[in-house]
Amino acid sequence: MSAGGAKRARALSTTALTSARTASARGVGTLLAGLTLFAAGAALGALARDPAVLIAGRGVSGAGAALITPATMSILMHLAGPQGRARAMAAWTLALGLGGLAGNLGGGLAGQYASWRVLFAAMVPLAALLVAAVAVTTPRTDRSPHSSLAPAGTLLLTGGLFAVLFGIIEGPAYGWTSPRILLAFAAGAVLVALFTIVSLRSRAPLFDPRVFAAPRLRATTLGMATGFFGLFSLFYVNSQYLQGVKGYGPARTGLAIVPLIIGMALVPGLAARWSAHPRPVIGGGLALIGTGLLGVSTAGAATPYPLYACWLLVLSAGTGLCMPALTLGVVTSLPPHQAGLGSGLGTSAREIGAALGVAVTGTVLASHGDLHTGMAPALRVVGLLVLAATVAVTVGYGGTGKDSGPTKPAGPAPEATGTGPAYERGETALGGGVR
């Protein structure tokens, strides 16, 4: 992962949870702020004259993206209502797939025929158009009375996640046993432990850690991390393989990656029809991701592209199948007014899984010297880990006894977790979660 990508990953994950409580309360305002930040970061990147400024711009855009994701989830949960959640998550995943398709094609074309600055510059008017559209079309609702910024918890959790992600991302570069990396992991563990203590003692924490007593929430967050662990392992080597081994140019590489997006765009609609049975959908999707990685690991210089594209389609179909159900599972494992928090947890799980995927793949590649000899063992290791985690996710998801429906989170304080008689009676219905 590039330095810019590492900074952006840390910004996304560390901002996601800390913005989630605000996103749940002021979804539209947070979305507008996120779009504005994203545009500002893109403009900074387009004008950058040195790597430090470019990295800073990517960090600002990453922070904006981390505000956007929980806000969109909270707004979608409100607008869709209980009966439309599965379709809303399918549409959300479809949007991700189409965005990835446009990004790959645009990036490849710009890389070969224009300048990389064009990509960043194009985001500015697009974000401005989205700001205008959101301001005009998206309804506001009352602020949730359960919202709070929890400054102490915010700082502790942000610092802890930042330290852990720094260790994961930079581990292959500095060595896993180097003092810098060991210190980062130790600092992360201490800060997260302090966050847990502070949150358990607070009357209105950022979120109550006891929500993870719910088996379904544990399973869905693990599943989210597992899926992105596999995907980003592939992302790390995919372009290198297509350009360095197959000899494709940037534009052709952008086209060659299209099969990886097709399943993400087409399968979620099918998965929505099976939303009443999320357990096999999640297990099957994650299993396809693991199987696809094992298939891609067999690719070499002589591998025909159609065969390689078939394995990309397997991965893509698995992603499109399981991600809507996993996202919905995280959100519905919490009370409705905490939809933004659920999205923040999902975003953090995705970013941590992505960072781990890059770190594990990079470490295995480094031990083999180059991409030609290291790609196959790296993807085999990741594929087998994904399949092993799939078993844990599938078993854990069934721990609630029913195949569908939200799980009541654990925790003694109704004002902190949304549980208790009011939640059970449905008094915290959708509509109090966004503004």
DSSP for 13-79, written as a single string: HHHHHHHHHHHHHSHHHHHHHHHHHHHHHHHHHHH-SSHHHHHHHHHHHHHHHHHHHHHHHHHHHHH
How far is Cα 352 from Cα 266, in angstroms, rounded to an integer?
Answer: 26
Q: What is the rounded CA–CA span in Å between residue 115 and residue 316? A: 29
pLDDT of 426 reads 34
Per-residue pLDDT of the chain (435 residues; tens, 9 = 90+): 444 444 444 445 444 444 444 444 456 888 899 999 999 999 999 999 889 999 999 889 988 887 887 778 778 777 777 777 777 777 777 777 777 777 777 877 887 788 888 888 989 999 999 999 988 888 775 555 555 567 888 889 889 888 988 888 788 788 888 999 999 999 999 999 999 999 888 887 777 788 888 888 889 999 999 999 999 999 889 988 999 899 998 888 888 988 888 887 778 777 777 777 888 999 999 999 999 999 999 999 899 999 999 999 999 999 988 988 888 888 777 776 666 677 778 878 888 898 889 888 988 888 887 888 889 999 999 999 999 999 999 998 874 444 444 444 444 444 333 333 333 333 332 223 333
Q: Which two tokens stand for residue 310?
A: 């078939």
Look-up: residue for tokens 């409705």? 336
Q: What is the pLDDT of residue 385?
A: 96
Count CA atoms closer than 13 A to 424's CA, side-chain side.
Answer: 7
Q: Which helix (H) or strand (E) holds 270?
A: helix 259-273
Looking at residue 298, what DSSP letter applies? T
CB 79 within 8 A of CB 35: no
Structure tokens of 202? 């607070």
User: The pTM is what?
Assistant: 0.75
For residues 86 and 16, what is the distance between their CA atoms, to the nearest angstrom? 22
Phi, psi for residue 227 in degrees, rounded to 5: -60, -45
The 8-class DSSP code of residue 243 comes to I
And the tokens for 364? 């295995």
Q: Please, what is the angle between helix 3-25 and helix 51-113, to 10°?
A: 100
What's the confidence (pLDDT) of residue 224? 92
> What's the CA gap between 338 and 264, in Å, rounded?
26
